[in-house]
């Protein structure tokens, strides 16, 4: 069998924040790829504005570096399980993976998730223990943890014999020794290990073409772009080829452009062959998992498996009293077009129409997945409302099932009791408890996803902000009866329209936590705070102080109010109850009752009680 020894295809996988994108930056800098005058900004691969702000990778990216006589194609993947749909498909495109693990944190829930996907594809792993320069680094223990995880996930003998490199991606240093003093200012150990250990792609470029689409991109000039790997044969610009669709149909088209990857750029190439990662344009209707073949030799590759969505929410046209004030795109047609265009590139997303022309059910892989999309829409000038996120149930072998998540919590020991109790109430089962010896404890639970909706805020206040929670989808299990999770406290609901005043906020403060600042415009039915009790409470937050000409002895005391708690988009979505909406515009995020009028709301609640 012939091999293309000049190419290596490798994916970088890790838990979120363990340094994948920073490592790719260093590999780009230290290879023979970039011109000397090109200066790289930090995390150059994260090109989207939200990725830069949050410091996370949302979309998988590919780049290629030159090292000696080799071209190394590198795929940078997201660490969050919400974007797991991106990770799974990339495993098909590569022959090996770099598993990056933090030298202090060790293996985390997403490390497990991404590694499991890689081992299922029988890829060759290289382990990079990153952040070796941290004073708290414990490289030996971390390598043991990684080995245990490999064994637990059923790795074969070849995979268990993985090489380990110790690095500090931030400082651009690496070495094969676990002593931080041996770090050298070079990435050569990483490059050499990739060239040595990762198998070269098979060169079967004389056989008929097989190219499979693993990622999608969209460009206004050339339309949809299919990114993937050529598994067999070769392709040239101008070739007539067949696209074998997922539904079994076949479409013929002409290849108009082929792009190869080089550094941070996409360059047009005239032809490509087996082992190359390329982007193709020319077909309007291309989708992930479809195969491109010659017209006279239609032989489809196995369809890529993509995890189904586990969470859904209803997106609606904004119909609040303030609708249309701040947004550029407010109509049902505009919102529907935007949701449909998101489907061009995001394969883990589903959009279904409802009985109402102004509402759609949008399903995704988790709260983060959906909130990132909402945040992007909001920045583009859209105005909309969304309902509370709900988990998607499934029937497995005739049994109603719901998604369960694997939850890993790192917290100081003093908060351990309250965390265990809170998760117990949400029907989570503890799987493991590890004391790390420095007053920290790691708890692992299996919890119904329903019980975790709205838990983050409660968890952070319970652990005074010191706790760290990570969770990732594990499996579907039989449904647990009863209500889980959700908000314990009622809402403070405005009974009037107008502007919030300092005077009325002072009188409302003792009832709970206020969410609005003085001067904020409010309307009847808008949620202006959280009640300290479990029932909703109507409050007048717009009342001004009556002016009289009678002097008061305490006149010179100025009124001081507490700083209001301004909710972020994620916190707002977590706060929602079943009878509430979150109104999202480019300028504001407001919470409101679905029925704005107080007496109508009470009538609807009575009817619901009678029906139950």
Are 94 and 129 within 8 A, CB to CB? no
> Could you give the count of Cα atoms lying within 13 Å of 258 in the half-sphere of its Cβ?
21
Q: To 5 degrees, how large is the angle CA 580–CA 585–CA 590?
A: 35
CB neighbours of residue 448 within 10 Å:
21
What are the CA-CA distances from residue 74 to residues 97, 110, 357 (Å)? 9, 20, 44
Q: Which residues are annotated as a binding site?
A: 17-22, 130-133
> Strand, helix or coil at 84?
helix
- Binding site for GTP: which residues? 17-22, 130-133
Among candidate residues 52, 51, 50, 45, the one with its CA nearest the CA of residue 21:
45
For residue 562, the 8-state DSSP code is P
Residue 471 near residue 407 (C-beta atoms within 8 A): yes
| Coil/strand/helix, residue 421 | helix
Sheet of 277-281: strand order equals 250-254, 240-244, 291-294, 210-219, 223-232, 277-281, 257-262, 265-269
Residue 353 has phi, psi (to 5 degrees) of: -75, 160
Distances (CA, A) of 352 to 310, 315, 336, 339, 385: 15, 10, 10, 10, 16
CB atoms within 10 A of CB 324: 14
Of 498, 505, 543, the residue nearest 524 (C-alpha): 498
**CB within 8 Å of 227: residues ≥ 6 apart:** 62, 213, 214, 215, 216, 217, 277, 278, 279, 280
Query: Is residue 441 a contact partner of residue 411, using CB atoms and an 8 Å limit?
Result: yes
Give CA separation, 198 vs 96, 201, 209, in Å. Answer: 5, 9, 24
Task: Name the 3-class secondary structure at 50.
Answer: helix
Alpha carbon separation from 462 to 295, 415, 457, 566, 575 (Å, rounded): 62, 7, 9, 19, 16
């Amino acid at each position: 069998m012939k091999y293309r020894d000049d190419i290596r295809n490798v994916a970088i996988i890790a838990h979120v924040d363990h340094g994948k994108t920073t490592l790719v930056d260093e590999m780009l800098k230290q290879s023979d790829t970039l011109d000397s005058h090109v200066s790289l900004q930090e995390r150059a691969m994260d090109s989207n504005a939200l990725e830069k702000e949050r410091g996370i990778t949302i979309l998988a990216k590919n780049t290629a570096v030159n090292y000696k006589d080799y071209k190394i194609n590198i795929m940078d993947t997201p660490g969050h399980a919400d974007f797991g749909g991106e990770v799974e498909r990339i495993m098909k495109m590569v022959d090996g993976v770099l598993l990056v693990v933090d030298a202090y944190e060790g293996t985390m829930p997403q490390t497990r998730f991404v590694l499991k996907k890689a081992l299922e594809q029988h890829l060759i792993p290289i382990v990079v223990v990153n952040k070796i320069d941290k004073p708290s680094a414990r490289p030996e223990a971390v390598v043991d943890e990684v080995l245990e995880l490999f064994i637990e996930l059923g790795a074969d003998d070849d995979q268990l014999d993985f090489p380990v490199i110790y690095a500090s991606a931030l400082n651009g240093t690496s070495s094969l020794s676990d002593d931080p003093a041996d770090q050298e200012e070079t990435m050569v150990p990483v490059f050499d290990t990739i060239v040595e250990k990762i198998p070269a792609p098979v060169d079967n470029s004389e056989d008929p073409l097989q190219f499979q689409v693993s990622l999608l991109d969209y460009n206004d000039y050339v339309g949809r772009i299919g990114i993937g790997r050529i598994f067999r044969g070769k392709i040239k610009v101008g070739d007539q080829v067949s696209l074998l669709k997922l539904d079994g149909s076949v479409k013929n088209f002409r290849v108009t452009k082929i792009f190869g990857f080089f550094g941070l750029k996409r360059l047009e190439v005239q032809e490509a062959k087996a082992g190359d990662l390329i982007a193709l344009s020319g077909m309007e209707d291309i989708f992930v998992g479809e195969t491109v073949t010659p017209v006279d030799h239609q032989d489809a590759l196995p369809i890529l498996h993509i995890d189904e969505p586990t969470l859904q929410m209803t997106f609606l046209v904004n119909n609040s009293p303030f609708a249309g004030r701040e947004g550029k795109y407010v109509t049902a047609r505009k919102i529907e077009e935007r949701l449909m265009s998101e489907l061009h590139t995001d394969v883990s997303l589903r959009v279904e129409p409802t009985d109402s022309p102004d509402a759609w059910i949008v399903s995704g892989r988790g709260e983060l997945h959906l909130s990132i999309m909402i945040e992007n829409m909001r920045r583009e000038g859209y105005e909309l409302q969304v309902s509370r996120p709900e988990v998607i149930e499934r029937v497995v072998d005739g049994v109603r099932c719901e998604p369960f998540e694997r939850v890993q919590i790192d917290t100081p020991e003093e908060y351990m009791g309250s965390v265990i109790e809170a998760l117990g109430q949400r029907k989570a089962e503890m799987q493991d408890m590890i004391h790390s010896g420095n007053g920290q404890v790691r708890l692992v639970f299996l919890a119904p996803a329903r019980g975790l909706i709205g838990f983050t805020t409660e968890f952070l206040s319970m652990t005074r902000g010191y706790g760290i929670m990570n969770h990732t989808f594990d499996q579907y299990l039989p449904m647990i009866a009863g209500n889980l999770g959700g908000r314990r406290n009622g809402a403070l609901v405005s009974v009037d329209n107008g502007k919030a005043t300092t005077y009325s906020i002072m009188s409302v403060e003792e009832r709970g936590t206020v969410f609005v600042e003085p001067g904020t415009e409010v309307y009847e039915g808008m949620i202006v705070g959280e009640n300290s009790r479990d029932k909703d409470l109507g409050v007048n937050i717009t009342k001004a102080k009556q002016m009289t000409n009678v002097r008061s002895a305490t006149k010179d005391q100025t009124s001081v109010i507490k700083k209001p708690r301004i909710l972020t988009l994620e916190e707002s979505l977590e706060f929602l109850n079943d009878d509430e909406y979150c109104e999202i515009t480019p300028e504001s995020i407001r919470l409101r009752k679905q029925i704005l009028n107080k007496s109508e709301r009470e009538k609807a609640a009575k009817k619901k009680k009678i029906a139950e």
